Amino acid sequence: MSYRLDRGNLDRSDSPRKDRHAVLDIPSRILFGPHETLENDDEEQRGVTFTTVESVTESLKISSEQLKLWLKGGTKSTDDVFKAFSLDTAAEKGLANPQLQAWIGYMKLFNKKNPKKQTSLVTTLASHFEYDGLAKAIEAAKAVPQTAKLAKRLEFELIQRWLTQEKTPDEVFRLLKLDFRRYDLAGDDSAKMSELIPDESALVNMLIKAKGVASTEKLAQRVQAEQTKSWLQSERMPDDLFTLLRLDKADNDLLANPIFDAWIKYADDFREMYLKISMDPIATIDEHYSIAQVARMIVKATESPKTQKIAYRLNTEQYRDWLKRYHPAEAFMNLELGAAGDKLFRSPLLATWLKYVDFTTGVRKGR
């Protein structure tokens, strides 16, 4: 059973609902501003207002009184309205239906009014369409500037949904209807596969956020382990992952970042698996941070029991790397001690340099 809108009247129609497996298209216009999310915006924080209701109803061409009645009495769920707008029907419409914007507006108002019955766009879409069709639509929309932002949000929420449901990578693979036997990975079909799989950066972003939430931390670690295994098998360079994991933008908190620990372990596993490939973690770090920055990070990390171990390790690797490249006088300048002036003896990096001098002396004497 579906519904038909007719200028204020919500009529029931016996027209059958189209196949829920329909492939979707993303709308060319979206509701959100640059800082809004799918479920929350400033309007929600102020509460449900009839001004907002009227702006939504104007786009729907139905009476504001009707929509107010639905919201006040809770007589129509968001799913009822989703069907009423025919957002669950034809493949050529789907998410391309301009009334999707109005439905999202109604959803926000409904969620505020009915906190125990809250829903989201991705939950509603997943209840009407198969994941493979939804993933295709999202991937296609990411290539369109007007819909890229909405698509990325949907992609993020889709991955979050899988994490919450404790889906393994293999289960997600099957949900997207991907079968290795159906594809020739050396041919054009490999491109079709990549279109269906959420992009790597989105997955990494989801894992980073999930690791910070107690309820999803263990699951995120398990998914990360699976992903790490895949990266190792494909000979993915640690240098590439350093930037993918956004460790190049961690600033002074790099060594305290839990993702950094995972990256160090990956780098160690990579070196063990591919002995012929030269790979040094400290060299990768130095590509993104100055010598003085890295030294300050290490000094700061030695002050915390949680990061002392990795700090001492990197300090030793740093000295070994310097030994191949810098005379103590050059290291002094690279540590920006030459510009310290009368603050030289208060600089924590002075101790770093003095220890390096001792290190070089010990190496020369064979200690």
| Residue ranges covered by each domain of the chain | 48-119
Q: Which stretch of DSSP H or E encloses residue 142?
A: none
C-beta of residue 97 within 8 angstroms of C-beta of residue 85: yes
Range of lowest pLDDT (30-44, 254-268, 350-364): 30-44
In three-state secondary structure terms, 209 is helix
What pLDDT, on a 0 to 100 scale, did the predictor assign at position 258?
A: 79
Question: How many beta carbons lie within 10 A of that of residue 237, not counting itself?
Answer: 14
Could you report the per-residue pLDDT of 267-321, keeping only the tens digit for each? 999 999 998 888 889 999 999 999 999 999 999 999 999 999 999 999 999 999 9
Contact partners, residue 248, CB within 8 Å, separation at least 6: 242, 288
Tokens, residue 8 = 């204020």
C-beta of residue 263 within 8 angstroms of C-beta of residue 238: yes
**pLDDT band with cut points at 50, 70 and 90 for residue 367:** low
Q: Is the predicted pLDDT of residue 104 greater than 50, yes or no?
A: yes
From residue 15, alpha-carbon distances to 119, 202, 293, 366 in Å are 26, 39, 67, 88
140-177 per-residue burial string, b: 16 or more CB within 10 A, e: under 16: bbbeeeebebbbbbbbbbbbbebbeeebebeebbebbe
What pLDDT, on a 0 to 100 scale, did the predictor assign at position 305?
A: 93
Could you report the per-residue pLDDT of 199-213, keeping only the tens digit for each? 566 666 666 666 666
C-beta of residue 223 within 8 angstroms of C-beta of residue 272: no
Q: What angle do CA 220, 224, 230 make, to 5 degrees?
A: 155
Question: How many beta carbons lie within 10 A of that of residue 24, not counting itself?
Answer: 25
What pLDDT, on a 0 to 100 scale, did the predictor assign at position 208?
A: 66
Q: How far apart are the first and last CA of the chain?
A: 84
Report d(CA 133, CA 120) in Å as an integer: 18
Tokens, residue 15 = 């027209």
Percentages helix, strand, coil for the chain (3-state, rounded to 5) are 65, 5, 30
Q: What percent of the chain has pLDDT over 70?
A: 61
